[in-house]
A = this chain, B = another copy of it.
Amino acid sequence: MSGAPGQGAPVDAGAAGETRFVDTYLLYLLARASSVASAEFHEEVRARGVPVTVWRILASLKGTAGLTVGDLARSCLANQPAISKMVDKLVIRGLLSRQTDGDDRRRVWVRLTETGEAEVDGLIAAAERHQARLLEAIGPGEAEVLKRALTLLIEHAAPDP
Write the residues of chain A forming the contact surface with B, with a CB cutoff of 8 angstroms.
Answer: 2-15, 18-22, 25-41, 59-60, 62-68, 71-75, 77-79, 99-103, 109, 111, 124, 127-128, 131, 134-135, 137-138, 142-143, 145-147, 149-154, 156-158, 160-161
Contact = CB atoms under 8 A, between A and B. Distances in A.
* Copies of the polypeptide in the assembly: 2
A33 B113 CA distance: 30
A26 B20 contact: no
Given A6-B77, A11-B66, A13-B74, A25 B157 contact: no
Contact of A7 (B6, B41, B74): B74
A154 B36 contact: yes
B154 A65 contact: no
A7 B31 CA distance: 16
A21 to B, nearest CB: 5
B157 A137 contact: yes
